[in-house]
């Protein structure tokens, strides 16, 4: 992992081996003497950990009276082996006759997570996208995972920390984005009373991502939660611009009686240009100071959001006057004329009668 580009400040949780007294019971010897593992554990716990047998009061203070072995005896194997256990039927048994008492090496600190022992290897990421570094780490750990699978017991390697949180946040944003798009489609359908026009508004929305992605590349950023939030904000602004255009197309046809024509589309674009440009400019100018301060403390989240929103506003505002009119001209004639007829049924009926007369 240390050799992977982008890995910085690698730290392995220290594991220092220390001596510990290990007492392994001999079950056959215990059973032959009428003792159980519980009897052994209680005696050893009393000798090593101690037990409060009474309390002594001195003035206003109360002190516990603890019975246990002396400190030097608790680390002396011979003394431990000569520790007596009392049998239920009477008589004494030496601990060394019913258990293996020895010194072994063990870690001075055992950390657990979800009831499993774990060792943490942590590092920072610098100069590369977090996802790319994790991909390289996964490839480097491939042979290690194979060797671990051949070992007895259960060993596993899990990558967590900021990457895990980012993956979870990305999944949440993806689910919410899909739900938001479906909700937007429903609202647009209820507004236009046309699934085709609602779909045209949403289909053209990727144009907002063009400028956002270009700005991310130019400013040497990586895709993060902050950039995804910025993309969602740009999507909302771009969708509103498309709604303004399509709504004005229908307004000119319904209220002014204009036919579906290129002249009507151009007129609607000109009349809606000022509101769309003003909203884009106010949003962009408000975020512009944040886009000029990369790396400033406290702006680690605001800077990516600002740059993505500004880039998306530029591309969506410019391309909206080409893509949305083009899609409406190519696919919206029948739906637009149907909506106009359904909005003014009486006028069409009167015109039909006058023509017959």
Structure tokens at 335: 């739906």
* pLDDT string in tens for the chain (357-residue length): 788 888 888 888 887 888 888 889 889 888 888 888 888 888 888 888 888 889 998 888 999 998 888 888 887 888 888 888 888 777 888 888 888 988 888 877 778 877 788 888 888 888 777 778 888 888 888 888 888 888 887 888 888 887 888 788 888 888 988 898 899 889 989 988 889 998 888 887 787 788 888 888 888 777 777 888 888 888 888 888 889 899 999 999 988 888 999 999 999 999 999 988 998 888 888 888 888 877 677 667 788 888 888 888 888 888 888 888 999 999 988 988 888 888 655 544 443 334 444
Q: Are 93 and 35 in contact (CB under 8 A)?
A: yes
Rg, the chain, Cα only: 38
Where does 60-151 have alpha helices with state H?
A: 71-74, 77-81, 95-98, 130-149
Q: Which two tokens stand for residue 285?
A: 């100018």
Which class in CATH covers the domain with range 163-356? mainly alpha
Q: What is the pLDDT of residue 357?
A: 40
Q: Which class for 349: exposed (0-12), middle (13-18), buried (19 or more C-beta within 10 A)? A: exposed
Q: Which CATH architecture has domain 17-108?
A: 2-Layer Sandwich (3.30)
**What pLDDT was estimated at residue 159?**
84
Structure tokens at 286: 């408000």
As a whole number of angstroms, the distance between CA 294 and CA 231 comes to 18
Question: Of 306, 315, 316, 305, whose CA–CA distance to 284 is shortest?
Answer: 306
List the structure tokens of 264: 């009507």
Rounded to whole angstroms, the Cα distance separating 16 from 105 reads 9
CB–CB of 208/318 below 8 Å?
no
C-beta separation of 226 from 301 below 8 A? yes
Residue spans of the domains in the chain: they are 1-16+112-160, 17-108, 163-356
| 8 A C-beta contact, residue 33 and residue 144 | no
Contact 310, 215 (CB under 8 A): yes
**Closest of 278, 254, 258, 277 to residue 266, by C-alpha:** 258
Give Cα separations from 214 to 116, 217, 309 (angstroms): 45, 5, 11
pLDDT for 101 equals: 87
How far, CA to CA in Å, does 289 sit from each of 113, 248, 280, 296, 335? 44, 34, 15, 12, 44
Distances 331 to 19, 26, 48, 50 between C-alpha atoms, Å:
80, 86, 86, 86
Closest among 41, 27, 29 to 83, alpha carbons compared: 41
Residue 295's pLDDT is: 67
State the helix-helix crossing angle for 195-203 and 333-343, rounded to 10 degrees: 130
């Amino acid at each position: 992992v240390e050799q992977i580009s982008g890995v910085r400040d690698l730290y392995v949780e220290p594991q220092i081996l220390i001596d510990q007294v290990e007492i392994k019971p001999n079950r056959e010897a215990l059973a032959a003497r009428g003792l159980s593992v519980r009897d052994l554990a209680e005696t050893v716990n009393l000798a090593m950990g101690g037990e409060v047998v009474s309390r002594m009061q001195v003035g206003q203070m109360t002190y516990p009276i603890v019975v246990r072995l002396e400190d030097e005896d608790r680390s002396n194997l011979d003394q431990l082996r000569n520790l007596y256990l009392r049998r239920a039927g009477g008589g004494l048994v030496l601990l060394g006759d019913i258990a293996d008492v020895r010194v072994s090496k063990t870690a001075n600190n055992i950390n657990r997570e979800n009831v499993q022992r774990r060792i943490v290897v942590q590092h920072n990421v610098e100069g590369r996208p977090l996802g790319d570094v994790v991909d390289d780490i996964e490839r480097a750990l491939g042979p290690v995972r194979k060797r671990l699978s051949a070992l007895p017991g259960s060993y596993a390697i899990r990558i967590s920390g900021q990457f895990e949180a980012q993956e979870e946040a990305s999944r949440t944003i993806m689910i919410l984005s899909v739900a938001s798009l479906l909700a937007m489609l429903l609202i647009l359908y209820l507004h236009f009373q046309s699934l085709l026009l609602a779909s045209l508004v949403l289909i053209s929305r990727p144009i907002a991502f063009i400028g956002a992605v270009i700005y991310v590349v130019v400013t040497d950023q990586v895709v993060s939660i902050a950039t995804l939030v910025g993309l969602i904000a740009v999507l909302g602004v771009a969708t509103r611009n498309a709604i303004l255009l399509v709504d004005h197309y229908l307004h000119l046809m319904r209220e002014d009686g204009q036919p579906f024509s290129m002249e009507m589309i151009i007129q609607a674009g000109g009349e809606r240009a000022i509101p769309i440009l003003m909203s884009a400019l106010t949003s962009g100018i408000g975020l512009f100071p944040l886009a000029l301060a990369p790396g400033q403390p406290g702006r680690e989240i605001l800077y990516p959001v600002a740059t993505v929103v500004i880039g998306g506003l530029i591309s969506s505002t410019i391309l909206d006057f080409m893509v949305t009119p083009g899609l409406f001209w190519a696919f919206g004639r029948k739906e637009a004329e149907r909506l106009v007829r359904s909005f003014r049924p009486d006028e069409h009926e009167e015109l039909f009668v006058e023509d017959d007369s």
